[in-house]
Amino acid sequence: MKNSYKKKFKGICKNLIVNESKLNLVATSLSISINAIIMSFKLAVGYIFGSISLVADGFDSLLDLFSASFAGIGEKVGKKPPDSSHPFGHEKYQLVFSLAISIILFFSAYLIASDAIQRLKDKFLLEFEWIILIAASVSIVSKLFLSIVNFRIGKRLNSPVIIANAKNYRTDTISSVLVIVSLIGSYYKIWWFDSTAAFIIVLLIFYTGYEIVKVNLPELMDKGSPEEIVKKVQEIALSVNGVKEVHLIRLRSILNVYTGDFHILVDPEISIREGHDIAETVKSKIEETGLFRNLVIHIEPFLPEESLRKS
C-alpha cells in the first residue's frame, strides 16, 4: 500500500516537472497565496504596533502580489507560439513584465523612504513586541521558500520573469531580518533603529530593481551577442564543406537563445541548389547546439569584392 502511494506521489511530481504550464501555475499560485497571507499579517501587526520597518516589509509583500500576477501573465503570454502579428514569437513580453516588476520595486522604495524620514523627524521609538518578532520570522521562512522554488522553476522554464520574482523574494528575506534587528534596537530604547532598518530595506529593494533592469533592458533593446557566440557561429559554419568565408554576423538574444543573420561565401561556380544545401547544412549544425534558432543565412559568391579577408 505504501509503495502504491509512493508511486502516485512520484508520478505527480514527474508530471509537474515535465509540464511547463503546471510549473508556471505552481510558481504563480504559491507566490500569490503565500504573499497574500504574510502581507496581511505583517501590515496588520506593523500598523497596530507601530513598526515602520515591518510596515515597509508588508507593503513590499503587497507589491509582490502584483509582481506575482505579472509573472504569471508574462510567462503565459511569452510562451505563446508565433502568429501573423508576432512572427518572431512573444518571448519579449516576459522582458517587459520583468521591467514592470522593477518599476514596482522602485516605487515601493520611494514610499518606504518617505515614511522612514518622517519617523526620524519625529524621533519615534518603537516598543518591543513579540508579535513583531513572530511576523518577521514567518516572513523570513516564507520568502526563503518562495525564492528557492521560483528560482528553480524559473531556471527550468528559462523565464526571466519568474527569476526576477525569485530575486525579489531573496531581498524580502533580508528585509525581514532587518525588521528583527530594528526590534532588538527598540528593546534597548534606540529610537532610530526602526527607521534606519527601513532605509536599508529601501536600498536593497532599489538594488534588486536595478539588477532586473540591468539584465533585461539590454536584451529588450536587441543588444549584440558576445564575441564568443559570434566566434562559435564562425567556427561551425567554416567546418561545413563548401564554406569559404563567414562575415557580417548580426545576432541578438531572446531568453538566452540567439537569432539573427549572417553571410557565407561559397564557390561562385556551384549551382543555386548546391549553395542552398550548404546553407541548410550550416543552419542545421549551428541550431543543433541549442543556442540558436531561426537563423537567416545569405549566400554570396567567394569573389575579391565580396570577401572581407585582407589581401
Q: Which of 17-26, 115-124, 154-163 has maximum average pLDDT? A: 115-124
pLDDT at 16: 45
Fold (CATH) for 2-220 = Alpha-lytic protease prodomain-like (1.20.1510)
Q: What is the overall mean pLDDT for the chain?
A: 80
Domain range list for the chain: 2-220, 227-301
Which tens digit of pLDDT belongs to each residue from 216-267? 787 777 777 788 988 999 999 999 999 999 988 998 887 678 888 999 999 9
Which pLDDT score, from 0 to 100, does residue 276 have?
A: 93
Per-residue confidence at 85, pLDDT binned at 50, 70, 90? Answer: confident
pLDDT-derived band at 73 (thresholds 50, 70, 90) equals low
Q: What percent of the chain has pLDDT over 90?
A: 16
pLDDT in tens, 268-300: 999 999 999 999 999 999 999 888 988 999 999
Amino acid present at 192? W
- The CATH code of the domain at 227-301 is 3.30.70.1350
User: What does the pLDDT look like over 194-204, one tens digit per residue?
Assistant: 888 888 878 87
Residue 265: per-residue pLDDT: 93
Distances (CA, A) of 69 to 35, 98, 120, 226: 11, 11, 34, 33
Q: Are 38 and 145 in contact (CB under 8 A)?
A: no
Kindly give the interhelix angle for 92-122 and 193-220, rounded to the nearest 10 degrees: 160
- Looking at the chain, which runs of residues are DSSP E strands? 243-254, 257-266, 296-301
Q: How many helices (H) and strands (E) does the chain have?
A: 9, 3
Predicted local confidence at residue 311, as pLDDT = 44
Provide, for the chain, the percentages of residues in helix, strand and coil under a 3-state DSSP scheme, each rounded to the nearest 5.
70, 10, 20
Q: Please, which pLDDT band fits residue 7 given cuts at 50, 70 and 90?
A: low
Least confident of 10-19, 144-153, 284-293: 10-19
pLDDT at residue 125, rounded to an integer: 78
Q: What is the mean pLDDT of residues 93-110?
A: 78
Q: Residue 78 class from Cβ within 10 Å (0-12 exposed, 13-18 middle, 19+ buried)?
A: buried
Q: Is residue 186 scored above 90 in pLDDT?
A: no
